[in-house]
Chains A and B, each alone.
Chain A
Amino acid sequence: MWGIPRIVLDRLKGRSLGRPNSGRSAIENPQFQHPDANLLAAFLERTLTERERTQVLSHLAECAECREIAALTLPAEAEAAEPARSPVGSGWSIRPILRWGALATALGAVVFVAVLRQHSRSGVQTASITAPPAIMPQASEAAPQAPQPLPAQPAARSATRRARAKPLESAGEIAKLQKPAPTPLTQRFTALPPRNEVRNLTPPKVQLRPPEAPPAIPPSTQSAEVPAGLSTDLIHAAAQPSAVVEHPPAPTYDKRSLAGEAGASTPMRAKALQSKLSANAFRSRLQSAVAQPSALWSISPEGKLQRSEDGGKNWQEVRVADNIEFRAIQVNARDIWAGGSGGALYHSSDGGAAWTRVNPASGASPSTEAIVSISCSSSNLQQINVKTDSGTQWASDDGGQHWRTVNRDE
């Protein structure tokens, strides 16, 4: 409770139009101009103009009944977990990103330890197995796969638990979270995980940078979702793999692997060298994976798709179909999905040159509900999920060939 003088409350009460204990409904009193249900809904959905919003707020400040109605109009918290629109310019807290960042950092560190140990294992016979053999090929081939269960996960889980239990206040705390995951790396992951799943790309329009190459790091955070209200810049950063690492990781070796390299017999040295070369190849692949992609995609305020080939300086409209207001876009390299009004869902598999209309409501008449979200599983780019403004969801597991309706419970 902040020190507010009693008189302020008395005078505020005195100004109130609908006094809770007066027994008279201010809503029913024609003397007062109350915002109607349209304006209240638009106010809560933040779709009013600034002038209208100011007027509604001024009224709400003095009308207890309208405040009550506005509060009742808010959906229950569980329903609000998936807002219809992204808040415009909301004061989105830094805490959620720190929390997800910490989780991603911890998981990223664990995965990298596993990868590096895998290298050591191939070069040094004494190296202990710390990760399933499947991890290294996945990483080196830069193909996103379903996350494998890692023996080191408990460390990540405990980091996750701690991150959830206590909101992180500073970058120092993230560093602490990294400690439980032992890493021989001299350079650590410090930024966000790669995320292909971007939800609710409703206005304000969001720019997506297509990853030219799939992320080099196994997407251990595929279940991470963009928190509601995430600013467009953050979504942008989260969607591109260049945000994954601060520096290209320089592979280093733990003491056992170095000792093995120095003191082993010739065949063992050859193996160690091969391992080192393989690590260098891995580094170069990682560097190429985080290289700046060429095309940026976004949706204009008029709901048109647009593309930039020069890092966002100039934008060209990409004509897909007339009379469609696009509201969601999902870019996976040259695979682009875009959806919008009237149930329009379009797909291009050649970077936007040719588009095909897709009807996810297979077997039924085409849906007219506006598509507001398209997401793609980071572990399997063939898994597409489409959502409409009224909450209907369809999913495809084969890149859009076949669709099924998703139950809300799934």
Chain B
Amino acid sequence: MSATQEKAGRSAMFVIPESVRARLYRQAVAERFGLALGDFASILQEVAAKYLPRDASQAEVLELIGGLRLEELAMARACARGNEAAWEVFLTRYREKLYRAAHSIASEDSAARELADSLYADLYGTRSADGRRISKLDSFTGRGSLEGWLRAVLAQEYVIRYRRQQRLVSLEEQTDAGAQFRAAERDPSQAHDPRLEEATDQALAALPGEDKFILAGYYLDGRTLAEMARLLGVHESTVSRRLEKITTALRKSILVRLVKHGMTSKEARQTMDVEVSELSLDVRRRLAESGGNRE
């Protein structure tokens, strides 16, 4: 029994009609990569089990597997099993793209090459467990494109490496400065009226995830409107309008909650005005320090 069949066996088993299996198998051209129909069906079962609840209807299962990148899925899984034809296709299609993606992520030449090479090793499967080669390609599920998946894996690896490096550097710096045991200082600017904190938390909790994502991306991460637009797949002007709408609604929502917490309308407005002006000063200062390149 293959690893995929084992995995599918352990999780929920969904019924995929034989005719559908055969159709998807042909659609994926899986035979070309040496995958048997049974193996391919097990992969589909495994993917469905990963994303769907146990009680998912057959329609949901068919919708999910019908939307998969079947050919890329078959090729990736065949690569993970060491099929030469699949590797040949993979290298022809993705080798150059992978290095290009690594360059765009890491910017610096040697770091990019190292990043891409290390991913190659993971894709090929150098590690072994129970005498079996484990390839990272075995975790590709075909929900998005293989190219997108490769970029995401590269980005994850890059961020993990960066954090590790940052942790080492910051620990060394702290040790040099004798600061490692110093108690964390409380930023005086972060001291707020508890009523304001509660009202803000409630207002933020009531926001939809997408709105919070826009706020965090724009204000915390310093992303531009164009970057946020690309992340959301919408136009820049849409993000701009959304931001304006979200901030206006958020202010109103906090004001209402402050009044509920016992402030008068006037007090609530004054509190908010102080908060906004403090932030504006802070932002202007930060922009001046960083060269003011941000839009």
Contact = CB atoms under 8 A, between A and B. Distances in A.
A74 B163 contact: no
B82 interface: no
Interface string A299-326: 0001000000000000000000011110
A93 B233 CA distance: 12
A311 B289 CA distance: 61
A219 to B, nearest CB: 27
Interface stretch (A20-28, A123-131, A375-383): A20-28
A65 B196 contact: no
Interface in B183-210: 189-190, 192, 196-197, 200-201, 204, 208-210
B276 interface: yes
Contacts of B234: 87, 90-91
A40 B152 contact: yes
A90 B70 contact: no
B135 interface: no
A342 interface: yes
A92 interface: yes
Interface string A1-17: 11111111111110110
A333 interface: no
A223 interface: no
Contacts of A25: 159-160, 163-164
Nearest to B23: A323
A62 B210 CA distance: 11
A165 interface: no
A7 B197 contact: yes
A71 interface: yes
Given A11-B200, A38-B144, A44-B148, A71 B223 contact: yes
Q: Which among A38, A41, A67 has the highest number of chain B CB atoms within 10 Å? A: A41
B238 A65 contact: no
Contacts of A75: 101, 104, 151
Contacts of A36: 139
Contact of B71 (A55, A59, A88, A370): A370
A321 to B, nearest CB: 11
A92 B163 contact: no
Interface in B218-260: 219-221, 223, 227, 230-231, 233-238, 243-244, 247-248, 250-251, 254
Given A9-B219, A70-B231, A4 B144 contact: no
B27 A325 contact: yes
Interface stretch (A45-53, A244-252, A261-269, A288-296): A45-53
Interface stretch (B5-13, B34-42, B126-134, B277-285): B277-285
B26 interface: yes
Nearest to A52: B51
Nearest to B106: A72
A72 B238 contact: no
Contacts of A68: 155, 159, 221
Contact of B200 (A7, A39, A73, A322): A7
B1 to A, nearest CB: 24
Given A11-B197, A40-B152, A41-B145, A5 B254 contact: yes
Interface in B149-169: 149, 151-156, 158-160, 163-164, 166-167
Nearest to B212: A61
A93 B272 contact: no
A58 interface: yes
B167 A23 contact: yes
B220 A13 contact: yes
B159 A8 contact: no
B111 interface: no
B74 to A, nearest CB: 10
A353 interface: no
B221 A10 contact: no
B149 A4 contact: no
A87 B279 contact: no
B272 A5 contact: yes
A57 interface: yes
A16 B220 contact: yes
A341 B145 contact: no
B158 A5 contact: no
A280 interface: no
B141 interface: yes
A48 B235 contact: no
Contacts of B196: 7
A80 B278 contact: no
A4 B216 CA distance: 12
A405 interface: no
Question: Which 6 residue pairs across A and B have the least CB separation, nearest first?
Answer: A41-B144, A41-B148, A58-B209, A61-B212, A91-B238, A5-B275
Given A8-B200, A10-B190, A58-B212, 14 more contacts: A3-B247, A5-B276, A11-B204, A12-B220, A16-B216, A28-B160, A38-B149, A42-B143, A57-B209, A60-B209, A64-B221, A73-B151, A75-B104, A91-B238
Interface of A: 1-13, 15-16, 23-25, 27-28, 36-48, 52, 54-55, 57-62, 64-65, 67-77, 79-80, 84, 87-88, 90-93, 95, 229, 302, 322-325, 341-342, 368-370, 389-390
19 contacts: A5-B254, A6-B275, A7-B196, A9-B220, A12-B219, A16-B220, A23-B167, A25-B163, A41-B143, A41-B144, A44-B148, A58-B212, A64-B220, A70-B231, A71-B223, A72-B155, A74-B227, A324-B27, A390-B147
